[in-house]
Amino acid sequence: MYPWLSTTFSQLAQRKQDNKLHHALLLLGPQGIGKADFAKQFAGLLLCNKSVTGQRCGVCHACLLQDAGNHPDFHEVVSDKQIGVDQIREAIKKLSGSAQLSGAKVLIIYAAHTMTESSANALLKTLEEPTANTYLLLLTHKAERLLPTIISRCERFIMPIPDITQTQAWLNTQWDKPVDAEFVSLYASSPLTLLDELQQEQKINYEVFKTGLQDLLHQRVNPSQLAADWQEQVEKILKWLQFWLHLQVKSRPDLPNSLWQLHQHAIQAVKRVRNPGVNKVLVLNQLLTDIAQLKSVKK
């Protein structure tokens, strides 16, 4: 288990052991902290027939089936963009009979906030009165999008977010090449995203980004050219720009008004590109144009 989640895991395991575990758990927390792995491992513990001291045994029939991805009482609802009502109905049907292995039944719903209203409504009765020995684990990083009726029927768990020391320590066990400290602090609270960013062979990585930014500040490249180079990953670039400006703002006790405004501009830009139909490259181009006029941060 990820170090920052291990205490929560032990607490839940203890509750299970004491027969005090709620049948519907809502796990809340941002993306990239390991909620899905947490839920799967906890499901493994719930399904294990011989668990001792909060750990699955790893050798019983239930554990072996789960490791092979064949446990008949373990179910998942995964969504790409939206969880449709048919997916929920199908999942409920699987939970309705008695357990095939005479142990627990577990359903994990990932990105539960992507349930449509009818999906959520279809789930309500099961959340309220599940069949015996059934557990539902709902995961979300956007709880505000969940119906209040769903939230009220679950016990909520706010998953701990690692601090930068925990993230760095964990990263050291996963990645043996040097990483820009600025990049680590950018993803400090979502270590899995950080590792993912490092593992993917990115056309635009943080180094390329910083070089591009310096070229822009020294007029070696113009904003529209840079915006075009970065057009495939506008949302990510905007986040990086916001972060970079945040660092500039933090490092300037004499904070010039123009810099402060630019940081605000970046925050708005990150929000704007989330709306459908927005010309993202244009938004990026506008921000880069303003950054190009910054005189004070050239290094």
> DSSP letters along 145-211, please?
GS-HHHHHTSEEEEPPPP-HHHHHHHHHHH--S---HHHHHHTTT-HHHHHHHHHS--SS-HHHHHH
Nearer to Zn ion, 61 or 203 (CB): 61
The tokens for 72 are 């008949």
- Minimum CB distance to Zn ion, residue 229 (Å): 52
CA-CA distances (angstroms) from residue 272 to 113, 141, 224, 287, 292?
21, 20, 19, 12, 21
Shortest distance, CB of residue 49 to Zn ion, whole angstroms?
Answer: 6
Task: Sort residue 106 into left (φ over 0), alpha (ψ -120 to 50) or beta.
Answer: beta
- Regarding 57 and contact with Zn ion (CB under 5 A), the answer is yes
Q: Which of 48, 234, 284, 288: binder of Zn ion (CB under 5 A)? A: 48
Q: How many CB atoms lie within 10 A of CB 154?
A: 20
Q: How far is the CB of 62 from Zn ion (least distance, A)?
A: 5
Work out whether 63 is an interface residue with Zn ion (CB under 5 A). yes
60 forms part of the interface with Zn ion (CB under 5 A): yes
Instruction: State yes or no: residue 101 binds Zn ion (CB under 5 A).
Output: no
- Per CB under 5 A, does 138 bind Zn ion? no
**Least distance to Zn ion, CB of residue 67, Å:** 10
Q: Which is nearer to Zn ion, 50 or 156 (CB)?
A: 50
CB of 101 to Zn ion, least distance (A): 11
Q: Which stretch binds Zn ion (CB under 5 A): 17-25, 47-55, 72-80, 136-144?
A: 47-55
* Smaller CB separation from Zn ion, 57 or 161: 57
The residues of the shown chain that bind Zn ion, judged by CB under 5 A, are 48, 50, 56-57, 60, 63
